Structure 1
Amino acid sequence: MTSVRQQTSNIMAMAKILFTHKPFLNPMQVWNPEMDNQIQALEESFGINENEFMRAIQSGLYLWNENLESSHVISQEITSPTGSYWHGLIHRMEGDFSNAKYWFNDARHHPISTQLVSSLRAYLTMEQLAKLDNETLRSKLEVLVASPVWNPAVFVDAVALQLMHVQDSLAEEWLRQIQYLEMKLLLNYCYEQSYGGSLLEAIEQQ
């Protein structure tokens, strides 16, 4: 078992690399196989101090590395809203949209939701959305930007439309960035609950 300091150092090192990659909406293969080995080794370091948020961090790192299977094995054993949120993300990225909605509903109004809405509005505006030709997808994104609360079911619908019908390059860029923000906030939340302090701020200060 490694020290808490070593654990946080390892997590920060992995996250710093993973943050340079913006996961695909529907990934087909692991992004960095070597990173998978490092994520697996993290589990062996938890020891008797392991808690559900540590496991959720591991699930999130696997998902960021686009290893959906390994992430799913962990998240399905975490019964909290946070575990359900990771579970919903996995199913959305698998293209299992109805199951994704089920797990997002089970996650209820997750603590990251307020910050996610703020981050979304800072990134995407109604004026930018006017550039999107597909009216159906544009209306879904307009709902997300206009809503005072995060609506994961509407985002699932937007991703499904993009992947299955629209396939617009600009929409792809927007949706991947929103997913990036979502995953970043959720991973940071898990880190805060496990170790205290912000993972994002710690990385910036390195």
Structure 2
Amino acid sequence: MSFDTGAYGNVFAELISEKRLNPLDGGEENTAAKNALDALTVASAFAGKIIADEDMAQACISGMWLYHNFLDASHTISQGIHTATGSYWHGIMHRREPDFSNSKYWFRKVGNHAIFDDLCKAAARVAGDVSGAPEFLTTQTHWDAGAYVDLCADALEGRSAHDALCREIQLREWELLFDYSYRKAVGE
């Protein structure tokens, strides 16, 4: 999947036009985006679109806050979305917090998410270009969110040298989950 930032309307496009290879932890809040995020509502972000799924629209808003490293704001929204996708955004936020056991709890609630097959393939492509990448990334046939949480924990805590790899996979994960959330929000 090639991530087309223009496919999500002008408001979202403005907020995701800059590719952000975010850190595995919370990183620094992107204060340059704060005013646009504060003004972000479902009505403004989806202007001209009919919302088919309000939870998925809220998931997009949660994802935007997360993309710009405002973990608390993302958390406030995602914890109110009682779906597998809401749990997924919630799990990513806790993984980046970093609160790895809580992240795994939320990923267990996710179950087998619709993006897992595509994420598994994307992770294998990214890992295939990295010498010494963990074997599970190139051999798994189903995405193992728990193993990825462990890999991120190892990278953050200095037990592996795979920070850059994890960040690339994290970006693909964000793109896939945002695209899925958006498509479901507008009934595609």
TM-score by length of 2: 0.85
1:129–1:142 contact (8 Å) kept in structure 2: no
| C-alpha deviation, 1:167, in angstroms | 5.5
| C-alpha deviation, 1:29, in angstroms | 2.2
51, 76, 81: which one aligns with 1:78: 81
Unaligned runs of 5+ in 2: 1-7
Q: Which residue of the partner structure matches residue 14 of structure 1? A: 15
| C-alpha deviation, 1:192, in angstroms | 0.8
CA deviation profile, 1:91-142 (whole Å, cap 9, x unmatched): 00001000000000101111110111111122212x8343xxxxxxx6xx31
Which stretch of the first structure deviates more once superposed, 45-54 or 99-108? 45-54
Taking only the aligned residue pairs, the percentage that are identical comes to 30
Unaligned runs of 5+ in 1: 1-6, 131-137, 198-206
Determine helix, strand or coil for the equivalent of 2:17.
helix
| C-alpha deviation, 1:81, in angstroms | 0.2
Partners of 2:89 and 2:187 lie apart in 1 by 20
1:144–1:154 contact (8 Å) kept in structure 2: no
Q: Given residue 180 of structure 2, which amino acid in structure 1 is its aligned partner? A: Y
**Quick one: structure 1 residues 129 and 74, their matched pair in 2 at CA, closer, same or farther if it must change by over 3 Å?**
same
| C-alpha deviation, 1:77, in angstroms | 0.1
CA RMSD of aligned residues (A): 2.2
Count of residues in Structure 1 that have an aligned counterpart in Structure 2: 176
Determine helix, strand or coil for the equivalent of 1:124.
helix
2:127–2:137 contact (8 Å) kept in structure 1: no
Higher helix share goes to which structure?
1
CA deviation profile, 1:157-186 (whole Å, cap 9, x unmatched): 111111113263xx1111100111101100
Is the radius of gyration larger for structure 1 or structure 2?
1
TM-score by length of 1: 0.78
Partners of 1:16 and 1:195 lie apart in 2 by 21
1:192 equivalenced with 2:178 (yes/no): no
Q: Which residue of the partner structure matches residue 122 of structure 1? A: 125
